[in-house]
Structure 1
């Protein structure tokens, strides 16, 4: 069985030497027969440069999943579509109607997610749209062997997203990956979130992007070797 692999291609946290860091997040999810780009960071030139150094070709992508319409997650959109207009682009109803109309002309297939959990590919789902500020959805991975949730910024709350995904799957989500949006949270909120994820059955975390230094340190202390470094260039085997 091919282990799902996540390669962080854009992050404000450094990882591998020789890669550029800017504010934002993007990662390539490699699955059997499916290659998904999750978000595009804030700058297309830097995204493509990092992807090239990591051996990830935009032309090989099958799907582009955009979590929410903030600039630091959609900044590389044009650069990717220019090189691969054959993509399926997955967005949600909270994106600008003007952008949705333009995207229909720029990609092979535009999928606009509403409020329901939506299958996208074998073992890949959208959580459905959450009424956060801004509205956001996250990606659920269920290979049978492994369950994971990948989030851009977790504006609805990382525990809320994980809980909703677990309810949909009927079993715990073991991995929580991405920006947990705790950078402005106090210690009490960070510990509350940690406990909630533990109670939900999360065994492995990859807290990065907007998680914040204090929360990352707290997750490292709580999860030990099961807290995996994010940062640009990190390759995570989701096993």
Structure 2
């Protein structure tokens, strides 16, 4: 695909003043072929409220992609499925078997991703499960000659997600977007994470949610114009 847009629907960082912030992450990704809800935040009522303020209807969503099983990323899934059950729900084998069984009857199609990368549609992939606590999958978008990688919390490490994506699709990652899980990291760890991404050729970052204030400041300084402000309500053009 040549273009896509990503709108942050749920975040603990502010973007547009009329939207509510809570701990967690969700984003709506529009591509020429799919409308994907990536994660669902921690609270369905707030997710729906923010969607309504942005003029987004649940019925527009055809795919829900859940990165990992933490409450702040799956808390709104029931609220969306109650209003639109005609969706493809993408989980991975690291989710609870009981949750998988419950969700199977609440959606149109359930995809359970394993350890290997998985093609969801043309130019849209799961990284497959990467080992962490908890295990996590990320979303890969193929935008022209480059890739965008969207992570929920990047528990395996944002550099590992980028490396997995580049190895699978064999294209450079231009954008890294989402939570980078550096909120408990020391300055040296943050510096190392930035250096890793730059060495991998990542030229634009939207570091939000669990990245942490200190890491966001460091990424903003290191990336300059390549740092994309996150926050609920922000739209990122991928083209």
TM-score (norm 2): 0.98
> 2:125 aligned with 1:133, yes or no?
no
Structural mapping, 1:179-190, within 5 Å = 179-190=179-190
Stretches of structure 1 lacking an aligned partner (at least 5 in a row):
none
* Structure 1 residue 172: Cα displacement: 1.3
* Structure 1 residue 56: Cα displacement: 1.4
* Structure 1 residue 97: Cα displacement: 0.4
Residue number in structure 2 paired with 1:210: 210
Residue number in structure 1 paired with 2:68: 68
Distance 1:180 1:164 in 2: 15
Contact 1:152 1:178 in 2 (8 A): yes
Residue number in structure 1 paired with 2:109: 109
Residue number in structure 2 paired with 1:37: 37
Deviations 1:68-123, CA, capped at 9 Å, x for gaps: 00000000000000011000000000101011001110000000000000000111
Residue number in structure 2 paired with 1:20: 20
Deviations 1:19-53, CA, capped at 9 Å, x for gaps: 00000000000100210000000000000000111
Structural mapping, 1:87-166, within 5 Å = 87-166=87-166
Over aligned residue pairs, what C-alpha RMSD do you find? 0.9
Distance 1:145 1:170 in 2: 10
Distance 1:34 1:235 in 2: 17
Distance 1:47 1:143 in 2: 27
Stretches of structure 2 lacking an aligned partner (at least 5 in a row):
none
Contact 2:146 2:171 in 1 (8 A): no
Deviations 1:119-148, CA, capped at 9 Å, x for gaps: 001110000001200010000111324411
Contact 1:146 1:238 in 2 (8 A): no
Residue number in structure 2 paired with 1:83: 83
SS of the equivalent of 1:49 reads helix
Count of aligned pairs: 239
Residue number in structure 2 paired with 1:235: 235
SS of the equivalent of 2:105 reads helix
TM-score (norm 1): 0.98
* Structure 1 residue 238: Cα displacement: 1.3
> Do the aligned partners of residues 207 and 144 (structure 1) sit closer, same or farther apart at CA in structure 2, a change above 3 Å counting?
same
Deviations 1:195-222, CA, capped at 9 Å, x for gaps: 0000101010000000000000001001
* Structure 1 residue 2: Cα displacement: 5.9
Residue number in structure 2 paired with 1:47: 47
